[in-house]
Amino acid sequence: MYSVIKSHKTDKDDLKQRSDAFCINNATWRYHQILAESEELEGLLNEILHTKSNEESAVLLTEFYMSLDAKLRDRNNIELTKLSPRERDVFDLIIKGLSNKESAKLLSLSPHTVSDHVKAIYKKLNINSRSEAVFKFALVY
């Protein structure tokens, strides 16, 4: 999925907008994958669509989103097990918004080592940016 965003901002701003749009589309795709794989969620969604009462719909919607978020959280936790303990340390700092240099200082590593860990994390988790990491794995934290 690709989104085209027209903007008169700088190239850097435009690139950030495109990256954010990609992350949103990626998250939407992940929700669609979970929905396609889950008969339980499909059943809840059908119940919501055929419910006449607003109160009952609200209860079912809450249950639906709680189940969807739990399934996404479980899937993300499984993906994070692909990381080595040191990569997980670096990943935790990425999620908190720290730079490679800041992470290196906290972990007593060289910035080059942290950069290597970041590249390995991107590859293992099939992500392309820090913002995508935050967006994709926000529910785990």
DSSP string, 28-66: HHHHHHHHHH-HHHHHHHHHHHT---HHHHHHHHHHHHH
pLDDT one-digit tens code per residue, 78-126: 788 899 999 999 998 998 889 999 999 999 999 999 999 999 999 998 8
The pLDDT of residue 39: 73
pLDDT at 63 over 60: yes
Residue 12 — very low, low, confident or very high, per pLDDT cuts 50/70/90? Answer: low
Q: Whose structure tokens read 């079912």?
A: 60
pTM above 0.85, yes or no: no
For the residues 33-37, what does the mean pLDDT come to?
64
Average the pLDDT over 66-70 and give the result: 73
Q: Kindly tell me if the per-residue pLDDT of 62 is higher than 60.
A: yes
Higher pLDDT, 18 or 3: 18
Show the domains of the chain with their CATH numbers. 82-141 (1.10.10.10)
| Rg of the chain in Å (alpha carbons) | 19
Query: What is the pLDDT, as a whole number, of residue 59?
Result: 80
131 or 102: which leads in pLDDT? 102
Residue 98 burial (CB count, 10 A): 18
CA dihedral 69, 117, 24, 81 (to 10 degrees): -20
Gap between the Cα atoms of 9 and 102, Å rounded: 29
* pLDDT reported for residue 61: 77
